[in-house]
Amino acid sequence: YFIIKVLVEFSGSLPDETPEDRSHLVKRDVSCSGHWTVYGSRCLLFVPRAMTWAKAEKNCLALGGNLASVHNWKEYQDIQSLIISQTQRPQKAWIGGSDAQQENIWLWSDGSQFLYTNWCRGEPNNRGVQNCLQINHTAMKCWDNLQCRYHLPSVCAKPR
């Protein structure tokens, strides 16, 4: 009863609040709540628990997103900033790229177009059936294809 009463009493508008302010506040609270962080038009989440690529994607789906896709240098820098803010270093992690469906045809798990890349020199090389994309492979913080069965932390993304 107390919680309901408090919610009812405090659910009114704030003084000098416009309808735009209310909708903006609601959008911000709903879209990137919890441990998600706003970066541009997306919410990003670093998941420190190491999992296979498939389990990491399933985890992101359960959280309302996908493993992160990258469409430009700025988005890649956003992901780097998130990881470093959580780990204090450029931690290797899964993002949403995979060519498991067809060799050398890289796709993002969220269905967006795979146009931007940041592959390390000589990658992707498919050495030992490497179908999943890890970031921060070397000091260059570039991309490497890796066997999907390896356990790594991951980065999830969802629209704001």
Which CATH number goes with the domain that contains 65? 3.10.100.10
Instruction: Judge whether 24 lies within some domain.
Output: no
Instruction: Judge whether 150 lies within some domain.
Output: yes
Q: What is the DSSP letter of 40?
A: T
Instruction: Judge whether 32 lies within some domain.
Output: no
Say if pTM beats, i.e. exceeds, 0.75: yes
User: Taking residues 81-98, what's their average pLDDT?
Assistant: 94
User: Taking residues 60-72, what's their average pLDDT?
Assistant: 97
pLDDT in tens, 119-155: 999 999 878 789 999 998 777 889 999 999 999 999 9
Instruction: Judge whether 3 lies within some domain.
Output: no
- Provide the domain count of the chain: 1
**The pLDDT value given to residue 16:** 52
As a whole number of angstroms, the distance between CA 8 and CA 157 comes to: 33
- Of these ranges, 19-23, 31-35, 96-100, the one predicted with the greatest mean pLDDT is 96-100
Q: Which domain holds residue 107?
A: 37-159
Question: Read out DSSP for 88-135?
Answer: SS---EEEEEE-SSSTT--EETTS-------BPTT----TTS--EEEE
Instruction: Judge whether 6 lies within some domain.
Output: no
As a whole number of angstroms, the distance between CA 42 and CA 68 comes to: 10
Instruction: Judge whether 2 lies within some domain.
Output: no
Higher-pLDDT residue of 68 and 31 is: 68
User: Taking residues 20-33, what's their average pLDDT?
Assistant: 49
pLDDT at 25 over 90: no
Instruction: Judge whether 21 lies within some domain.
Output: no
**The pLDDT value given to residue 60:** 97
As a whole number of angstroms, the distance between CA 134 and CA 5 comes to: 49
Instruction: Judge whether 31 lies within some domain.
Output: no
The percentage of the chain sitting over the pLDDT mark of 70, rounded to a whole number, equals 81
